[in-house]
Chains A and B, each alone.
Chain A
């Protein structure tokens, strides 16, 4: 019973950072219609911001996380301007260009920090106990940050003018531009937010995962599974699917092993693709 409860707490932590990553990927896809294969590398860049600023240069942890968020968001804007905007009518081209970008980011990380694991000391050694399950403050911090950021994003998308423009573009880019919404401006904001979410997830989890330049691979696989299960166009679906996947994956890892858990996750995605390609929560048909 203790182990079950502890595993549930661990899964909650995994769900929160996975949700941040997947929601970012869905935002980018929703507005630009392009699958950002470099999304895992954006997470990696965020993690290395913390490696550099916090572990090497001794800036406060929170400042390093904030810097990671902004920096990766700017990287996102650069991607939008240089690749996704010229390739807007060519989704396959955008995907392939993002693969090229992924290789560039990986190499830059290797050049800057080497191939080996970056070690990041925890920002705090404290831990909380919740009904017998241990939750380090480091992990608690990730959970709280994820809830806060996702709530802020949700409010932004529902209430602000930009948010409405963003949703309009996601629904029908042509009709939105007829209403005077600037597609370029909207894409830039979406790309900033989407990339920044991946970056902040990497920055927050850096002390917990020991980043390597190649960590993006497992991240993007996870993110793909989540957005397919949740329905490719749906932000809410991505959050729910992140929770679902994190629980399945964490429990299978704990009671069997990690490779089996990966196989189960991929099989779950495959099953969803076969039975209901629009995802469990995606209502809209997207080609």
Chain B
């Protein structure tokens, strides 16, 4: 970027430093947590991938209610491949992502005939049908009880190095690596020409069509990519927890993904990540410490309503607002009277 000049280089350096600090903090994190908190941290990392992949889909302006079921497709596929066919787990997770992407590609034909509210309901219906198929057909899906004793991630034994992935700390690092790599890919996609086209379809679909963009193909592409990464998240989940069942991927779980994305704010890449981290910390640490297990959904519901009403652009807009206010303060006493409500 010639126009940015030295300022751009400094900013890029600051950005890289921040990333280094972030990863250092993430690497130190599990050693500050209790065993059960480490387990939560693993699930949190997996959920970060789930909600970030969901954001890619929302870039085109469509909100799906089937994303968690798509994650389940990855989980079931990876578990079955490992259990029944003996596919090694890292490969099965990748293939699980592929299966999720394939299901999404098939579903896109009926689903992208719909838009807006109809797409929302249509994706919900498609997801429920898949879920009921898992529930109804015991062979091979295990029926309502689901699949149990799913093969874990294989231990690494290489001379002095031996890593047991039953340990949450080790699985945390594994998930962190997979999720960071996936986030990097998602980020690059969003910043690429394809990502810009997604934005164009969201805000100006007629205009995009008129300049020759095949909106159906780009919507499908966003859906397939998002589903691939949701499927990877599903595989990570299945081989960590060791069991999957239809209830785990019900619409209730989808509601949580929606909450994370909306509370965090979908306008930026980091918004939904902020949402899932903030709400998981509130949910698992603060509310659990207070012993308020039963009222947790109530508080979640209240947070959801309040954030839609008062923070329509999500938590990430809070930073922007604070910064604006700070600058306003620095602007001197003359400006204090005109504070916008």
Binding site for B on A (CB under 8 A): 35, 82-83, 86-87, 90-93, 95-97, 99-104, 106-108, 110-111, 217, 221, 224-225, 228, 232, 259-260, 262-263, 266-267, 269-270, 273-274, 277, 287
Contact = CB atoms under 8 A, between A and B. Distances in A.
B125 A92 contact: no
Query: What secondary structure prevails in chain B residues at the interface with A?
Result: helix
A93 B63 CA distance: 12
B18 interface: no
A45 to B, nearest CB: 14
A277 B113 contact: yes
Interface residues of B, number: 40
Most buried by A among B120, B135, B259, B309: B309
B308 A97 contact: yes
Most buried by A among B118, B296, B303: B118
Most buried by B among A82, A95, A106, A270: A270
Interface stretch (B126-134, B154-162, B234-242): B126-134
A76 to B, nearest CB: 15
Contacts of A86: 309
B140 interface: no
Given A107-B295, A259-B136, A263-B133, A273 B114 contact: yes
Query: What secondary structure prevails in chain A residues at the interface with B?
Result: helix
Nearest to B304: A100
Contact of B117 (A35, A225, A262): A35
A95 B63 CA distance: 12
A101 B305 contact: yes
A-B complex: 8 closest residue pairs judged by Cβ atoms = A103-B301, A100-B304, A107-B298, A100-B305, A100-B301, A104-B301, A103-B297, A274-B110
Contacts of B303: 100
A106 B63 contact: no
Contacts of A273: 110, 113-114, 118, 121-122, 125
Given A107-B295, A273-B114, A260 B136 contact: yes
A232 B114 CA distance: 14
A93 B259 CA distance: 11
B110 A266 contact: no
Contacts of B312: 90, 93
A212 to B, nearest CB: 14
Contact of B126 (A35, A91, A270): A270
Interface of B: 63, 110, 113-118, 120-122, 124-126, 128-129, 132-133, 135-136, 251-252, 255, 258-259, 262, 294-298, 300-305, 308-309, 312
A105 B281 CA distance: 24
Contacts of B124: 224
B113 A99 contact: no
Contacts of A263: 129, 132-133, 136
Nearest to A104: B301
A257 to B, nearest CB: 8
A107 B297 contact: yes
7 contacts: A82-B305, A83-B308, A87-B308, A96-B258, A106-B297, A107-B301, A263-B136
Contacts of B110: 270, 273-274
B122 to A, nearest CB: 5
A272 to B, nearest CB: 10
A266 B298 contact: no
Most buried by A among B110, B128, B255: B128
Contacts of B258: 96, 99
A104 B296 CA distance: 9
Contacts of A101: 301, 305
B63 A92 contact: yes
